Amino acid sequence: MTTLETSPVIGAGLDRVDAPLKVTGAAYYPNDFTFPGMAHAALVRSTIAAGRISAIDTSAAEEAPGVLTVITYRNAPKLERGPMTLLGGSPPAPLQDDRILHYGQHVAIVVAETAEQARDAASLVRVEYEATKALLDVDDPRAEILNNPWGLDTERGDVAAGFAQADVVVEGTYTTPDNTNNPLGLMATIATWHGDSLTIHDSTQWPHNVRSSLATIFKIPESGIRVLAPFVGGGFGAGLRMWQHVILTVVAARKVNRPVKLVLTRPEMFTLVGHRPNSVQQIKIGATRDGDLIAIEHHVISSVAMEDDDYEPVSFGSAVSYACPNVFTRDRQARLNIPSPGSMRGPAEGQGNWALECAIDEVAVALGMDPLEFRLRNYAENNPLLKLPWSSKALRECYLHGAERFGWSRRTPQPGSMRDGRWLVGYGLAGVSYPFYQVPCQARASVRRDGSAYVRSAATDIGTGTYTVMTQLAAELLGLSVNQVHFGLGDSDMPYSPQAGGSGLTGALGNAIHAACRRLVQEFLYVVRDDQDSPLRGATVDDVAVTDGRIHRVGDPDSGEAYTDILARHGLEELSADGRSTPPQPEELGMALSGAFGAKFVEVRIDPDLGLLRVARVVSVIDGGRILNEKTATSQIIGGTVGGISQALFEETATDEVTGRIANATFGDYLMPVNADVPDMDVLFAGGPDRATAVGTKGVGEIGLVGIAAAIGNAVYHATGRRIRSLPITIDQLL
């Protein structure tokens, strides 16, 4: 019970346990719920990016059929801002004054009997503005600059001296645009008041954050709020924060004293639930003639909203990725009249890795070295900041296995030297990592009289496979079959769980379940410790193993008894136990905590006359620690790879530079890859369990995206000799 040495359930490519509910339509998402007397809401958004409301006329809307109320800053309750969270501050409360801070800002919410009536009435609200010139560019000298906003800037060695000693120095400016998360499911909220208590159905990746935030804002006990999100239609980070539309739905439900549902439109998804912020990155790298890195300098400025914050340390990866003695990284943010940015899959690393790994390739080219050889030569065996060995790192194996699988040795170094008919062929690679992230988590496990187990925690499953892998883990730890375990999540009344994000949930939740299941076995042993009829009398948890629904002494499968027999003999319907996990501390372990590592290999084809670019092959080799389910983990890497192709070649949230209006806020205008743009993908896993935690996992949700853009950019250079430094890579850049 103390180890997971044998794992007949863990690691198996088990089909998703929630799949039958989803394919039969029995999985209810927030938008699927309806309640007696439920009203519907629609939003009115600003049509300027900066200024004030000079007049607002709601009379026509209030007189429209079915309308129950119209709420503006004039009649909205005064609300305080939500609490500080693990991901930073809460967004400001909506409708608190007449100021406009970004295009698309909430200026009113309309509640009516039907969704159609609400939308129609919302179009009747008339708003006049006193507009001012908006701040929309990080280079605008009027913008307030936040220096080192998270205290993560780094400096080691003497960067100036390093560059002075370098034989080769490469520097350039790399840029990334705004991207928008765009989960397929439109985000929805239903709020229902029951006296002074509140029930919320919400498209959230973090039910407990919604509960604690609403408790602070509306000054009610957390125990009086229940947040439900058993199924969420994607997220990619959009559901990590509790956004203002949730608050407005709660306000509206209290005002009309009925349940209220609000479903965002697709254009609203572009302005109300976050986006990946743009970045301008200046990177400079120096190396010796022998290929040793001697200095790295990485400066970043990215955008942030006027009165909000966003955790996005873009340059930080450059401080820990390579064994380089002299490194300086710096992040700044410019306050602009834009919708609030937020985490989007692979936040910070998705942008920073683009600059770092392309610049690393530039140095290799300048030295005349193979890009793979150059990376291996400067491999960081230990964490360069902490000077401690990693708790696990199989990046070297990722490079070597990936190169063999991809056929990297067939690459000829000269740009433009490889062709297939009229197509130019390019090979590119990128090394990647994603930081360790884990926070405290709790879980509860129960075994019932019928031999089944119920394990639960207030996590969410946004399509990553949490239902499935946690069912597998609990089944293994309790010695049960998968069909004997039910895993519950998505309910804030369950034990506390952090967000499904940052590649941290599997580790935090898995270790909490490990603790709960171990404690549960101990509870069974407590029951029989003085039982003369039990072969387990006097045994401790370290003396036993669990197999086929039975606890037995280690090495003696016959010396034990079933959970069901213990419960029946002692007149118990079930036994339960709680478990919790806390993140380990590097100083106590003597190890640097490792996130996932990986190597990405990409082949591109380019038509030199038309500038057409096609991704032909992708090989991803990932060190993800212990893989609980190879099928769902592979799916995560495939999905992330599609997102990386999208970041590299398609996605750009286009903001009008005068008005601040997002010009492509529909799926018809916002480009994303379709099946024809996505090649066959090869995914392999390397390494083994991470040493820092009991379960040994590392998150793989973000690592699939990170590095794909850089590998594509490097492949484009190899095919054409053109070094592209701005995303997305478009036809005009290749002509």
- Active-site residue numbers? 702
β-sheet bridge partners, residue 551: 546, 561
Name the strands in the sheet holding 574-581, side by side, starting at the edge strand that comes first in the sequence. 485-488, 453-456, 441-448, 574-581
For residues 28 and 260, what is the distance between their CA atoms, to the nearest angstrom?
Answer: 17
> Partners of 448 in the beta sheet?
574
- Cα 423 to chain centroid distance, Å, stands at 36
Beta bridge partners of 425: 605
Pairing of strands 51-57, 126-131: antiparallel
**In contact, 16 and 84? CB cutoff 8 Å:** no
The letter for the amino acid at 162 is G
Which DSSP state fits 607?
A: -
Please, are residues 662 and 270 in contact by the beta-carbon 8 Å criterion?
yes
Looking only at the bridges linking them, the beta strands covering 423-433 and 419-420 are: antiparallel
Picking from 458, 469, 486, 485, the residue whose alpha carbon sits closest to that of residue 546 is: 485
Orientation angle between helical segments 466-478 and 505-527, nearest 10 degrees: 30
What is d(CA 249, CA 68) in angstroms, rounded to the nearest whole number? Answer: 14
- Listed in sequence order, the residues at least 6 apart from 5 whose beta carbon sits closer than 8 Å to its beta carbon are none
Instruction: Give 562-565 contacts, CB < 8 A, sequence gap 24+.
Output: 562/451, 563/447, 563/451, 563/524, 564/449, 564/450, 564/451
CA distance 61 to 124: 5
Mapping DSSP onto H, E and C, the string for 130-144 reads EECCCCCCCCCCCCC
Compute how many other C-beta atoms are within 10 angstroms of the C-beta atom of residue 562: 15
Amino acid identity, position 522: Q
Q: What is the 3-state secondary structure (H, E, C) of 434-450?
A: CCCCCCCEEEEEEEECC
Structure tokens at 610: 């038309």
Strands 574-581 and 441-448: antiparallel
Cis peptide before 728 (omega within 30 of 0): yes
Give the three-class secondary structure for 667. Answer: coil
Q: 207-218 vs 244-256: helix axis angle to the nearest 10? A: 60
Helix (H) or strand (E) holding 509: helix 505-527
| CA–CA–CA angle 63, 66, 68 (5° rounding) | 75
The CA-CA-CA angle for residues 455, 236, 431, to 5°, reads 105
